[in-house]
Amino acid sequence: MRVTTAEFIKNYGALADRALAEPVTITKNGRDRLVVMSADEYNRLKRRDRRVVRSEDLTDQEIELIAKAEVPAEYGRLDAELKDWKP
């Protein structure tokens, strides 16, 4: 759901309640500015932050899974971004 800043201020109670069930995007001058969501959803997303692992700490099973991983077809277009890349 998307609402303007003015709409959010005017309907804060109802929109804050709605944000418990789904994120509410608040816009300003037509551009996304903030997203209001439940604390539970925010905490769930924070737990999913990427973790850093040294390659030597990977198990053989993890290395095998990485080697077998395939990019989903809908992301194949991203290969074009690497076409002219040189290390």
pLDDT in tens, 2-50: 999 999 999 999 999 999 999 999 999 999 999 999 999 999 888 877 7
| Structural domain containing residue 61 | 1-70
Residue 14: predicted pLDDT? 97
Whether 41 is covered by a domain: the verdict is yes
Whether 84 is covered by a domain: the verdict is no
Q: What is the CATH number of the domain that holds 45?
A: 3.40.1620.10
Whether 79 is covered by a domain: the verdict is no
Total Cβ atoms within 10 A of residue 5: 13
Whether 83 is covered by a domain: the verdict is no
pTM of the entire predicted model: 0.56
Residue 47: predicted pLDDT? 82
